[in-house]
């Protein structure tokens, strides 16, 4: 008698989503825990936070307007600026907490990516693997550990969130489901314009895994494909998103041209851009498999080796042809590959922004496509062995992330590492020199900066930094020479113009210096330091009205600035406007009550306004704060004499003569007070 046939054992259901989410959260935090101890680095972080007064003031109405209207740092990404303002509002200038925010955004994107893939494909394990490699791949350390790359992690969060909202819309189209897609996409673009590729990614996902593009077979046996019509409809529904792409692209081009970061064809030819792009694609592929010798910057090579370029093009074409060949049986290969190729287009170098040949941070979104293609193909081929292998690789990734994070502790570690793992990296040498300058090791600073200039004589930042080193050392003639050299390479540099102007004014070349400062303010009207220098230059030319005007502009940007208020008082007093000057000094002293110089200047203005009693009060305050101030002592004695208080004046005048025995005015006043 035959035994009854046993039914196959049903496959165990995959673990719940929340367990996967918890695992992804824990693994990511384990990998990135040391980032809290990393600091700022002297590449972009000063421009974005450390020297950005508007950001440091936190979230203000003025800051919000600035975020949406500025092209600062050659970018338009208002949401990134607002996010950094919120950091300063909550934590001050605390790099550790800003790093924590980056990590939390990275975790958020990881979880959204897992939920998205799981929702689209119902392949929970594969989705978790893609999300895990996104979270833990060492090439993503730069995006997470660099505070200035807040734009990367913020953009990715909204990029993936947009796709998740789009899946909801695709399954049940409607206006109210489309609006979140549009809104989230706008937020992604306002975080970083690299999100312009998102509508194209959505078209890819329409084919797989959403399967919104279909091929129908007619009953007669003839194949009729309404692909063009379907594709037209899919493109048509994305017209509002493409409109955002056009607007964002136009604003981005404006910002980058204004910042002078777009390389001209004279600097890098069309053929050079194509060659670099092909090689960069292959280097990114290699880095996805073997991420070693990573650096914050990779400079463009002086020339391209023809066989490397040819080999790169052949490899890229071969992979593309193979992916197309298997589009019906394994559509994820082509979709993942085109995701990788397409999302890199804005930063691959056809429109060359900056002087890097590639950047680790550029892989943050594109690698998602690669991970999808690789995980899905290996799951199909070696499903049983995939997860043990993936576990080993993910462990290696965690080790790689931890290893890479040690170089993000500070600028010295970061740029020293870059000089070791890359050849002739003049940018790294320049920034290393700047780090030594910040730590007053001028000899080392000059050595590294000169090495950068030797490697690239047209690198204006190195010339400018060398000038700044000489300025700090008091070697002003050499500083002027190198500021001028930097400005010959790139004329419109507000910081170089302002420093050059300041030195020229100090040397008595006031008209020349003021002209440089005026140009600097035109280029960067928000830089309070330059505005203040220009105001002082105007005052040195006895143009007190213009000095006061510029100081008022400075106070619009930074209202609670006691130095600006004191300087405004000086300009107004010199212009004979004592009532306004007195009001300005009082405002300054409210903010900084122990400012002896402000007390003295206020006293002088009060005296010139015919108020000697009030003047005496502030001269005495100046003496109390700074007993060894000769001017305060002398003025105190003179006012007391004027008020007929000879006995009280005498000790002050004795001290004044002791401090400056050559002062005829002090000696005469002492005699008038009855002294020797």
DSSP annotation of 213 reads S
Q: Give the pLDDT band of residue 380 (cuts 50, 70, 90).
A: confident
pLDDT digits (tens, 9 = 90+) for 192-235: 999 999 999 999 999 999 988 865 444 444 444 444 447 889 99
Cβ atoms 106, 260 nearer than 8 A: no
Q: How far is CA 374 from the centre of its chain?
A: 33
Cβ atoms 53, 46 nearer than 8 A: no
Distance, CA of 267 to CA of 252 (rounded, Å): 20
CA dihedral 522, 527, 530, 536 (to 10 degrees): 100
pLDDT of 238 higher than 70: yes
Q: For 627, phi and psi rounded to 5 degrees? A: -60, -25
- Residue 87 CB coordination number (10 Å): 25
pLDDT digits (tens, 9 = 90+) for 572-616: 999 999 999 999 999 999 999 999 999 999 999 998 999 989 999
**Beta-bridge partner residues of 299:** 356
pLDDT at position 223 is 45
Distance, CA of 203 to CA of 231 (rounded, Å): 8
Cβ atoms 596, 629 nearer than 8 A: yes
Cβ atoms 554, 567 nearer than 8 A: no
pLDDT of 424 higher than 60: yes
Query: Quick one: CA dihedral 398, 400, 401, 403, positive or negative?
Result: positive
Distance, CA of 395 to CA of 590 (rounded, Å): 58
Q: Give the pLDDT band of residue 65 (cuts 50, 70, 90).
A: very high
pLDDT of 666 higher than 90: no
Q: Give the pLDDT band of residue 619 (cuts 50, 70, 90).
A: confident
Q: For 357, phi and psi rounded to 5 degrees? A: -85, -30
Distance, CA of 526 to CA of 142 (rounded, Å): 29
Q: Give the pLDDT band of residue 11 (cuts 50, 70, 90).
A: low
- Element housing 14 (H / E): none
Distance, CA of 595 to CA of 602 (rounded, Å): 11
pLDDT of 8 higher than 70: no
pLDDT at position 647 is 87
The residues near 63 (Cβ < 8 Å, ≥ 6 apart) are 54, 55, 57, 81, 82, 85
Q: Once rounded to an integer, what is the mean pLDDT over residues 319-327? A: 96
pLDDT digits (tens, 9 = 90+) for 164-180: 999 999 999 999 999 99
Distance, CA of 157 to CA of 122 (rounded, Å): 22
pLDDT at position 222 is 44
Any idea which of 328-342, 463-477, 660-674 has the lowest mean pLDDT? Answer: 660-674
495-516 exposure pattern, b = at least 16 Cβ within 10 A, e = fewer: bbbbbbbbbbbeeeebeebbbb
DSSP output for 481-515: HHHHHHHHHSS--HHHHHHHHHHHHHTT-HHHHHH
Residue 34: both structure tokens together: 């040391």
Q: Once rounded to an integer, what is the mean pLDDT over residues 624-639? A: 89
Please provide the distance, in angstroms rounded to a whole number, between the alpha carbons at the two ends of the chain.
138
Predicted TM-score (pTM) of this structure: 0.82
Contacts 24+ apart (CB under 8 A), 441-446: 442/469, 442/472, 442/473, 445/469
Break the chain into its structural domains and give their ranges: 17-214+238-408
Q: How far is CA 329 from the centre of its chain?
A: 44
604-636 exposure pattern, b = at least 16 Cβ within 10 A, e = fewer: bbbbeeeebebbbebbbbbbebbeebbbbbbbb
pLDDT at position 355 is 74
Residue 45: both structure tokens together: 């972080």
Can you list the alpha helix ranges (DSSP code H) found in 237-365?
239-259, 270-289, 306-325, 331-343
Output 347 or 269, whichever has higher pLDDT: 347
Any idea which of 399-403, 417-421, 528-532 has the lowest mean pLDDT? Answer: 528-532
- Element housing 5 (H / E): none
pLDDT at position 1 is 39
Helix/strand/coil (H, E, C) string of 61-83?
HHHHHHHHHCCHHHCCCHHHHHH
pLDDT at position 232 is 86
- Residue 224 CB coordination number (10 Å): 10
Angle, vertex CA 7, rays to CA 5 and CA 8, nearest 5: 130
pLDDT at position 386 is 72
DSSP annotation of 592 reads -
289, with CB counted inside 10 A (0-12, 13-18, 19+), is: exposed
Across 108-221, where does the E strand assignment appear? Answer: 216-217
Q: Once rounded to an integer, what is the mean pLDDT over residues 309-333? A: 96
CA distances from 46 to 51, 99, 411, 534 (A): 5, 15, 12, 22
Output 351 or 634, whichever has higher pLDDT: 634
pLDDT at position 174 is 92
- Residue 187 CB coordination number (10 Å): 18
- Mean pLDDT over each residue of the chain, to the nearest integer: 90
The residues near 16 (Cβ < 8 Å, ≥ 6 apart) are none
Nearest to 282 by CA among 322, 319, 244, 228: 319
Cβ atoms 631, 646 nearer than 8 A: no
Nearest to 466 by CA among 496, 494, 488: 496
**What is the percentage of the chain residues whose pLDDT exceeds 70?**
93
pLDDT at position 226 is 42
pLDDT at position 356 is 81
């Amino acid at each position: 008698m035959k035994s009854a046939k046993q039914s196959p054992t049903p496959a165990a259901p995959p673990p719940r989503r929340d367990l996967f989410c918890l695992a992804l959260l824990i693994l990511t935090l384990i990998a990135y825990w040391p980032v809290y101890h990393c600091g700022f680095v002297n590449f972009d972080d000063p421009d974005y936070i450390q020297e950005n007064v508007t950001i440091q003031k936190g979230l203000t109405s003025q800051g919000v307007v600035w975020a949406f209207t500025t092209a600062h740092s050659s970018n338009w990404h208002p949401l990134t600026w607002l996010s950094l303002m919120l950091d300063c509002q909550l934590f001050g200038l605390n790099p550790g907490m800003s790093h924590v925010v980056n990590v939390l955004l990275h975790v958020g994107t990881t979880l959204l990516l897992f939920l998205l893939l799981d929702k689209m494909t119902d392949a929970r394990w594969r989705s978790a693997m893609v999300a895990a490699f996104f979270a833990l791949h060492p090439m993503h350390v730069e995006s997470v550990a660099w505070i200035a790359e807040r734009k990367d992690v913020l953009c990715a969060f909204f990029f993936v969130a947009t796709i998740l909202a789009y899946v909801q819309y695709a399954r049940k189209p409607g206006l109210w489901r489309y609006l979140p897609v549009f809104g989230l996409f706008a937020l992604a673009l306002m975080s970083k314009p690299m999100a312009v590729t998102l509508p194209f990614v959505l078209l890819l996902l329409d084919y797989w895994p959403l399967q919104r593009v279909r091929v129908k077979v007619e009953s007669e046996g003839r194949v009729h494909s309404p692909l063009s019509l379907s594709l037209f409809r899919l493109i048509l529904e994305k017209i509002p998103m493409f409109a955002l792409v056009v607007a964002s692209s136009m604003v981005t081009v404006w910002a980058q041209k204004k910042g002078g970061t777009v390389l001209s064809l004279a600097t890098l030819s069309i053929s050079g851009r194509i060659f670099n792009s092909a090689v960069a694609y292959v280097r990114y592929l290699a880095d996805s498999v073997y991420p070693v010798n990573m650096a914050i910057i990779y400079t463009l090579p002086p020339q391209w080796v023809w066989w490397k370029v040819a080999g790169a093009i052949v490899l890229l074409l071969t992979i593309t042809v193979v992916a197309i060949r298997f589009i019906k049986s394994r559509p994820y290969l082509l979709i993942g590959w085109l995701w990788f190729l397409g999302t890199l287009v804005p930063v691959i170098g056809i429109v060359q922004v900056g002087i890097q040949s590639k950047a680790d941070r550029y892989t943050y979104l594109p690698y998602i496509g690669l991970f999808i293609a690789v995980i899905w193909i290996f799951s199909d081929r070696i499903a049983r062995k995939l997860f043990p292998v993936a576990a080993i690789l993910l462990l290696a990734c965690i080790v790689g992330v931890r290893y890479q994070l040690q170089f993000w502790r500070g600028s010295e570690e970061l740029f020293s590492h870059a000089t070791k793992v890359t050849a002739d990296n003049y940018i790294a040498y320049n920034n290393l020199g700047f780090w030594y300058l910040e730590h007053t090791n001028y000899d080392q600073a000059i050595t590294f900066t000169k090495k950068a200039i030797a490697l690239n004589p047209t690198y204006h930042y190195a010339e400018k930094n060398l000038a700044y080193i000489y300025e700090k050392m008091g070697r002003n003639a050499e500083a002027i020479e190198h500021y001028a050299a930097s400005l010959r390479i790139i004329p419109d540099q507000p910081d170089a113009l302002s420093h050059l102007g300041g030195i020229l004014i100090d040397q008595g070349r006031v008209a020349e210096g003021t002209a440089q400062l005026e140009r600097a303010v035109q280029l960067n009207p928000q830089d309070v330091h330059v505005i203040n220098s220009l105001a002082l230059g105007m005052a040195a030319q006895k143009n007190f009205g213009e000095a006061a005007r510029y100081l008022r502009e400075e106070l619009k940007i930074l209202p609670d600035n006691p130095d600006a208020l004191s300087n405004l008082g000086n300009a107004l007093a010199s212009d004979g406007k004592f009532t306004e000057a007195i009001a300005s000094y009082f405002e300054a002293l409210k903010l900084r009550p122990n400012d002896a110089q402000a007390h003295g200047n206020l006293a002088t203005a009060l005296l010139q306004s015919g108020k000697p009693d009030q003047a005496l009060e502030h001269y005495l305050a100046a003496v109390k704060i700074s007993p060894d101030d000769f001017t305060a002592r002398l003025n105190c004695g003179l006012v007391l004499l004027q008020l007929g208080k000879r006995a009280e004046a005498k000790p002050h005048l004795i001290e004044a003569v002791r401090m400056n025995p050559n002062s005829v005015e002090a000696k005469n006043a002492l005699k008038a007070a009855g002294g020797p």
